[in-house]
Amino acid sequence: MATHLLGLALVLIAAMAQMARGGGGGHDYGKALSKSILYFEAQRSGVLPQSQRIAWRANSGLADGKANGVDLVGGYYDAGDNVKFGFPMAFTVTMMAWSVLEYGKQMAAAGELGHAMEAVKWGADYFVKAHPEPNVLYGEVGDGDSDHSCWQRPEDTTTSRQAYRLDPQHPGSDLAGETAAALAAASLVFRRFNPTYANQLLEHSKQLFDFADKYRGKYDNSIPIAKNFYGSFSGYGDELLWASAWLYQATNGRRYLDYLANNGDALGGTGWATNEFGWDVKYPGVQVLAAKFLLQGKAGQHAAALQRYQQKADVFACSCLGKGGGGGGNVGRTPGGLLYHQSWSNVQFVTSASFLLAVYSDHLAGGDGQAVRCSAGSAQPSELLAFAKSQVDYILGSNPMGMSYMVGYGATYPRQAHHRGSSIVSIKASPSFVSCKDGYANWFGRTGSNPNLLDGAVVGGPNERDDFADERSNYVQTEVATYNNAPLMGILARLAGGPGRLEIAETAIKSDNQTSLPPLSSGNH
């Protein structure tokens, strides 16, 4: 009998492990998590560390900032090109950090917490460099126009590496605010692990928020060359609120909560209900953070204001679930069930929404378990998470084409991602210089798979009919981007590891012994 019970227990344990991995004919969320973080190593600019795992990449952008008298070496390339755009990079770092803060325990269990923290640190280190004075922020290195006229490896880049800056005469509240949010969130990631570094990030965050708030303006008016690539169409109100929310979370400082509550109406946070969350529009993220503070009992005397934020968080969730009622507020869907906003890189909005729904679901369930109030019927927290899972499953291959939209995951995935470095033979394998024209003539138009595997990259995804053409020239569908992956790593960790949101604790970090962690400052462990 004992032997029978032991056997039954082992079967149950195996079944539970399979479920945690997304088994039962489902997906291996742990494997997808590992790949989603690995991708960021392919996007690194600067001097690559010895721990670099994407081996076909080499050092690049080593003179960035030199002509401007500042060191801007490092950071991330945003997508398939070789420009460092500060606006999407900052959103990427904010979302990576938020993913770690919500689901660091699950990442640790999967042996990926160290890699995730390294990914956050790579971006945060760059922003510290890009903020050499309290009221100065370098917002871009290179320009999209000249870069897009070339098809070159990052290691060969010959296009302009001019750096563009914000200052009191050239304000950019949206970019400075998003960078402040990124550094506040990153400071929380390292708070218990490396407090000296966390304090440095937090000080930069506070200065950037003050700069953003005092000298108001849209960054793409000060850096107009960015407008055709990452224009700030929603303005800067959302980023000012976003930064204040993150600074409140990082400091518990009443000043930042007061700002969030008192400016909700004027800056659109309590008045603008939207069904889109991404590198330009942060309102749903602010609204979920405000709801989180309310659910955690951290609203103070501002409960009424934060309730207005939460009402808009409900609108976002309802519109994703298709319960927004009339008026066209619901997000469209493909026949296969994927949220659909636009033809160009639609998946970015899917990963961001899925992460936000998972976080909101977990905080609702961890609070009083209240349902989301929708005009077409209420939704339980579990419904939000189940829908987020359905979106992730679609991306990983549960779709009409049977196509995984994550490179390297599953049997069928994009082989011709629109990505310069991936599509040209590695400089390590062929050191011969590849010019602008050579890249287009010899590599861009080649049929067949890219010579370098862009492991873990998530492409733009299918059209409104669930169709996808795996062609390098089809950048609308095949270009990859850091902001596709950043929120996905959080929801993948949640699906791989189950419930139990815990912010980073030393116990979680110490359990993560399968990866190398970022270097420690002496005496800070």
- CA 78 to chain CA mean position, Å: 11
> What letter does residue 335 receive in the DSSP assignment?
T
DSSP string of 166-218, one letter each residue: EBTTB--HHHHHHHHHHHHHHHHHTTTT-HHHHHHHHHHHHHHHHHHHHS---
Q: Which residue has the tokens 């000080």?
A: 203
Other beta carbons less than 10 A from residue 274's beta carbon: 18
397 SS3 class: coil
Pairwise CA distance, residues 434 & 451, whole Å: 15
Beta bridge partners of 85: 140
- CA 486 to chain CA mean position, Å: 3
* First-to-final CA distance of the chain: 49
Q: What is the identity of the amino acid at 487?
A: P
Do residues 51 and 44 make contact, with C-beta atoms less than 8 angstroms apart?
no
- Tell me which H or E stretch contains 164: strand 163-166
170 SS3 class: strand
Pairwise CA distance, residues 483 & 281, whole Å: 13
Pairwise CA distance, residues 160 & 253, whole Å: 42
Do residues 212 and 127 make contact, with C-beta atoms less than 8 angstroms apart?
no
Nearest Cα to 126, choosing from 79, 167, 85? Answer: 85
Do residues 74 and 125 make contact, with C-beta atoms less than 8 angstroms apart?
yes
The residues annotated as belonging to the active site are 418, 470, 479
Do residues 472 and 416 make contact, with C-beta atoms less than 8 angstroms apart?
yes
- Tell me which H or E stretch contains 84: strand 84-85
Nearest Cα to 339, choosing from 328, 352, 349? Answer: 349
Long-range contacts of 2-11 (CB under 8 A, 24+ apart): none
Pairwise CA distance, residues 332 & 352, whole Å: 15
